[in-house]
Amino acid sequence: MSRLIVVSNRVPDPGRPPAGGLAVAMHAALQERGGVWMGWSGKSSGENDPGPLVTRQEGQISYALTDLSDRDLSEYYDGLANSVLWPLCHYRIDLTDYARRDMAGYLRVNRLFAERLRPLVGEGDLIWIHDYHLIPLAAELRQMGITNRIGFFMHIPWPSPDVFLTLPVQDMLLRAMTALDLIGLQTEDDAENFALCLKRGGVAKPLANEPGMFHNSERQFRVGAFPIGIDVKTFSHTAQTAIGNPTIQRFGRSLGDRELIIGVDRLDYTKGLPQRLTGFHRFLEVNPAWHGRVTFLQITPKSRSGVAEYDALQREVDEIAGHINGTLGRLDWTPVRYVNRAFSQHVLAAIYRMAGVGLVTPLRDGMNLVAKEYVAAQDPEDPGVLVLSRFAGAAHELRAGALLVNPYDVETIADAIGRSVSMPLEQRRERYAAMIDAINKNDIFDWCNAYLDQLASIPPSPWPIDPCQSGV
C-alpha cells in the first residue's frame, strides 16, 4: 500500500485525538498507510521569515508543521484565500477584494509549502492536497520535479463560470489545477461548474468516451464528485451517552416542556443567519399558539473579528435576536437564545439529540456537516426534523427526508418550522430513516477510501516544465 501525504492549511494538534470531521478520516488513513500530514502550525514568526519545518512522530504519522510570517498571513490567508476565494466561491462577488500583492503572497506561501514538502516525498507516495488555500501547490510541486500522483479536494462550493471567471487570476489558477491527477468536489453540481470553467476558460476539454476525464495538449486528469461524510456510528454513540451529562440535564430542565430548535454555525455571511432568525420571527408572528412553547437556540462562534463584513454581520444578528426577544419575549419565556462561543462535540451531539428541529439554512455551502451530525444524533424512536437549505451540498443526499427550503425566503423558512414542530411521529420516523440510510452509506471512511482508491488507480501523466505552456 502506498504511503499517504496529506497537505492542508491547518493541521490538528498532534498531541490530541481528532474530534471529528476531516481530521478523523485523515488520521485513520495515515495510521493505516503511514505517512506525513503537513501544514501551517497556527503560529506566526512575526516580521521574520518562518523558521525550519518542525516534525513530530505520532505512531505511523509524521506531522510536519511550518510557521508563517505576519506578511504571509496577511496576503495569503486573510488576503487571497479569505478575502477573494472564499466570497467568490460562495457567490459573493461583491465582497471580493482582489489585490496583486495578495496573489503574490498566495503563490509565495504555496511555493514555501512545496519547498518544505519536497524532501519528504518518497517514490510511490500519494499526495492529497486539501482546499482553496492550496490550489497552486500541485503545480509548484510539478515544477520541482515531483511526478507522484497528486489529488486535490475542494471543501467549499465551486461556483459557476459566470462567477469564477470574473477573478483576474482565474486562468492562472485553472491551469495550475491541471497539474493534479484527481480533482474532487463536494457535489455533481460543483463538478459540472468546474468542468464548465475549464471549457469556457480554454484550459482543458472532456476526454471522449471517458466520463470525468479531461485533457489538454500535455496531460490528462480526472474530475469527480466525492460528497464528504461524518463518522456516523461514533457521533450517534456520543449523542446517546452525552445526554446524561449534568450540564445537558440542567439545560434540559431550563427548557421545561418547550420544543427546542437548534442552529449551529460559524459567524459567517454564507450561513444565512439574518434570514434564519427573521424566518423564526415570522413563524412566531403567524403562529401565536406556539408562543411560550418553543425555544430557538442559535450557537454561533465568532470566526473573524476585526473584519468589517463580519463585524457588521455580528451587529445585525445581535439586533434581530434582540428585537425578537424584546417584542415577543415574556418573563417566563425567551424565544431566542443566541450564544457566541464554541462547544465540544459531546455537548453539541447531546443538544442535537434534544432538539426537535434542526435549522440548517446556509445561503451556500460545500456540504454542511452539521446537517449530517443532526441526523446521526437523533433518537430513531422519536427523531427530530431537519430543515435544510437547498443550496447546501448535503441537500443532494438528504432531500428524501429533510424539508428543503430557499434560505433567502423567510416565509418558506417560517412555513418549514411550522411543519416541523407539528409533524406526526410516523412521518418523522420515515424521514429520519431515509436520511440515516443516506449518511450510513457514505460515511467519512467510505469517502476517504473511495477518493484514495480512485487516485491510486490513475495512470501517471507528464507535466510541462512551464505550466503556462499547457493549453487545450
User: Vertex 90, ends 276 and 467: CA angle to 5°?
Assistant: 165
In degrees and rounded to multiples of 5, residue 209 shows phi and psi of: 65, 15
For residue 365, indicate whether it is catalytic. Answer: yes
DSSP 168: T
Classify 244 in phi/psi space as left (phi over 0), alpha (psi -120 to 50) or beta.
alpha
Q: Could you tell me if 201 and 161 are in contact, meaning their C-beta atoms sit under 8 angstroms apart? A: yes
Q: Could you tell me if 197 and 174 are in contact, meaning their C-beta atoms sit under 8 angstroms apart? A: yes
Residue in 90, 133, 155, 281 annotated catalytic: 155
262/269 Cα distance (integer angstroms): 19
Residue in 72, 365, 415, 443 annotated catalytic: 365
Identify the residue whose cell numbers are 495569503.
Answer: 76
149/134 Cα distance (integer angstroms): 16
64/178 Cα distance (integer angstroms): 26
Q: Could you tell me if 298 and 319 are in contact, meaning their C-beta atoms sit under 8 angstroms apart? A: no
Q: How many CA atoms lie within 13 A of 14 on its CB side?
A: 20
Which grid cell is 326? 424584546
104/336 Cα distance (integer angstroms): 45
For residue 125, indicate whether it is catalytic. Answer: no
Q: Could you tell me if 186 and 149 are in contact, meaning their C-beta atoms sit under 8 angstroms apart? A: no
Q: Tell me which residues are annotated as active site.
A: 155, 365
